Amino acid sequence: MSSTTDNTIIHKFDGENYDLWVTKVTALFLLNDCNDIVSGVDVEPEEEGEAKMKYLRRKQKAAALLIRNLSDDVILSTGITGSSSPDEFRKKIRNIYGLRTGRSAQQIKKLR
């Protein structure tokens, strides 16, 4: 009997335990080959073609992973919409909830 593991879901972030959630969601991005998209390391290629299509698929996947692992209340309170980039999603969440948890500005910068 085979078992499958869903490597796209963690406990949804509900505004509590930001430090733990950001660690887990970063692991999800790494596991799903889209952390460089969210962190801004990879940028969208200017030329049309396979590389741009691959980048856009990874960007969509990163956005879906992030939204899928947020509670409805967090999505609504941050104003996250489907038109924003995953990098912008993460920045909004960090700016609202990362600062609430008492992280120092220096620690927050390391998450960028």
- Tell me, yes or no, whether 101 lies in a domain: yes
Mean pLDDT, to the nearest integer, of 23-49? Answer: 92
- Tell me, yes or no, whether 104 lies in a domain: yes
- Tell me, yes or no, whether 76 lies in a domain: yes
Question: How many domains is the chain built from?
Answer: 1
Instruction: Name the pLDDT band for 101 (thresholds 50, 70, 90).
Output: low
- Tell me, yes or no, whether 86 lies in a domain: yes
- Tell me, yes or no, whether 6 lies in a domain: no
User: Taking the model in full, what pTM does it have?
Assistant: 0.76
Q: What is the pLDDT of residue 1?
A: 45
38-95 pLDDT, tens digit each:
888 999 999 999 999 999 999 999 999 999 999 999 988 888 876 668 888 888 888 8
- Tell me, yes or no, whether 1 lies in a domain: no
Q: What is the pLDDT of residue 105?
A: 45
Supply the range of the domain harboring residue 93: 18-40+57-110
- Tell me, yes or no, whether 61 lies in a domain: yes
Q: What is the pLDDT of residue 108?
A: 45
46 to each of 25, 36, 40, 58, 64, how far by Cα in Å?
28, 17, 15, 16, 23
Closest CA to 57 of 41, 79, 72, 42: 42
